Amino acid sequence: MPHPSPLKILLAMAFVVGCWAYSPTGIHIGLQAYDPGHLALLRFLLASLFMVLIAAFKGIRLPHWRDVPLLFALGFFAVSLHHVALNIGQQSVSAGASSVLAQSSPLFSTLLARFLFKDRVSAWRWGCVLLGFVGVVIVVSGDKGLGAIDVHALLILLAAVSWSVYFALQKHHARRYDGFSLACYAVWSGTLMLLIYLPGLSDAVINAPRRVQWAVLALGVFPSALAYLAWGFVLKHVDLSRATMTLYLIPPTAMGIASIGLGERPTLQVLVGSVVVLISVLALNLERRVGVIRAAGV
């Protein structure tokens, strides 16, 4: 197949950023009529249905029975735990601050690499982790004040940890599947586990305002399904380290969407903390990229 034009790749990147940046605002709107568990389940019921339709046309690799526990683990960390914790956390954390805290997952990935997988971690990476957590404290204190820090902000960080575990498991154990198949199985297995929130969901759907219904529908279709397909397309044609650089556009884009959709205005302290967190994560990825370049030159 011919290589797609640079414009098509850029449009796919912009689509991914826009979809994932919309998620915090969509969650805030959804929480106006749904509790966190109902919102997570409804969002991924929609995403699961959408991905079934795509898989019927695109095709999907069938799982091996021995991989079923792994696929459910991926679904638990990527969907069930991540999104329930995120929804509960966003009940009292602004959409802008939430988007920054969620992007701190590479910091936790470094800790997992050291303490779970016993990888060597350089002094540079330890410094990046420390700087990143300083930025996290600045963001949280600037959003609600240090005295107002509670379990909600910590749950946003738990969601970031959960996302880090998902990527670690994917990297170390799930190389037999293409990206689309893996995303489908993670979404479907995570949705099955979210069925514990099924009681009362139908009443919540019936009573929810139309604005909330549209917001949740957008959550299910765009950030939870189409964005994964677009991201897979990007990764096929762009180096991973370069592609991930575009993800640093998510927090400022999320803040812009929240300012329009929710009327949020981030404080100067939140903006400063956001810059600190993103610099630390960017520095982590730059160190990895330099290491790859040096290894290739040996």
Domain definitions of the chain by residue range = 6-125+147-265
Is 167 in contact with 109 (CB distance < 8 Å)? Answer: yes
Per-residue pLDDT, 118: 64
Looking at residue 197, the DSSP 8-state letter turns out to be G
pLDDT value of residue 37: 96
Distance (Å, whole) CA 220 – CA 83: 12
- Which residues make Cβ contacts (< 8 Å) with residue 297, sequence separation at least 6? none
How far apart (Å, rounded) are the C-alpha atoms in residues 98 and 244? 19
* pLDDT tens for the chain, residues 1 to 298: 567 778 888 899 899 989 999 999 999 999 999 999 999 999 999 999 999 998 998 888 888 889 999 999 999 999 999 999 999 999 988 888 888 888 777 777 777 766 666 667 678 878 888 888 888 888 877 776 655 556 777 898 899 889 888 877 777 666 777 778 888 999 999 999 999 999 999 999 999 999 999 999 999 999 988 887 787 778 777 765 566 677 778 888 888 999 999 998 888 888 888 888 888 878 877 765 544 444 444 4
Q: Over the range 79-112, which residues count as b (16 or more CB within 10 Å of their CB) and which as e?
A: bbbbbbbbbbbbeebbbbbbbbbbbbbbbbbbeb
Q: Which of 12, 97, 47 is nearest to 218 (CA)?
A: 47
Q: Which sign, positive or negative, has the C-alpha torsion 55, 17, 272, 142? A: negative
